[in-house]
């Protein structure tokens, strides 16, 4: 499923983000940026030690912020690391922090000349964010950003499993 927002293609695919051949992929990282489970662990494993070495120099990352490193051995030139919120009940700033992850990642992308970027479903794994709500925040934040900012050719949501892919596809269909 794909939509065109201003001059930017926004789409959802079911795939492995570590195999994306785009300018940058986004890592759903923890605050240390030193690797972890899920998407974070997969990116660090696939990208090799260059990513970890670059992350060590960044002194961590706050929830809702984003920082960029090399892509190491990944097909993507860059990895943009962002720290999503742990979902409690949606009343402790989680929606604003999750939106900030997407917005800051796109800002960092543009600051570094990135034209194509892939996102995972930030905070939808062990951080427990409800999938439909997270997808709505992700898609609407990306849509608003690309309407206000030129320079991105493609924003792709790369979902590892069919359930998440289906949820993102439904949200994209609604905002189209």
79 sits in which H/E element: strand 78-83
Q: Measuring CA to CA, which residue among 33, 24, 114, 105 is closest to residue 65?
A: 105
Q: Which of 16, 40, 62, 65 is catalytic?
A: 40
- Asked if residue 24 lies in contact with residue 68, where contact means CB atoms within 8 angstroms, the answer is yes
Dist CA 60 CA 32 (whole Å): 4
- Sort 140 into a burial class: Cβ within 10 Å, 0-12 / 13-18 / 19+: middle
* Distance of alpha carbon 38 from alpha carbon 21, whole angstroms: 20
Annotated catalytic residue 40? yes
Annotated active-site positions, please? 40
């Amino acid at each position: 499923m794909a939509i065109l927002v201003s001059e930017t293609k926004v789409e959802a695919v079911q795939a492995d983000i570590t195999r994306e051949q785009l300018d940058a992929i986004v890592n759903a990282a923890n605050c240390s940026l030193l690797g972890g489970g899920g998407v974070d662990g997969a990116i660090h494993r696939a990208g090799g030690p260059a990513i970890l070495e670059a992350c060590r120099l960044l002194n961590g990352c706050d929830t809702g912020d984003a920082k960029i490193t090399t892509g190491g051995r990944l097909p993507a030139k860059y990895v943009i690391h962002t720290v999503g919120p742990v979902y409690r009940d949606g009343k402790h700033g989680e929606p604003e922090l999750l939106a900030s992850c997407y917005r800051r990642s796109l800002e960092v992308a543009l600051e570094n000349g990135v034209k194509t970027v892939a996102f995972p479903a930030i905070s939808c794994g062990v951080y427990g964010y409800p999938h439909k709500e997270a997808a709505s925040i992700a898609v609407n934040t990306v849509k608003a950003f690309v309407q206000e900012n030129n320079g991105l050719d493609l924003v792709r949501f790369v979902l590892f499993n069919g359930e998440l892919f289906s949820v993102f596809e439904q949200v994209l269909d609604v905002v189209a």
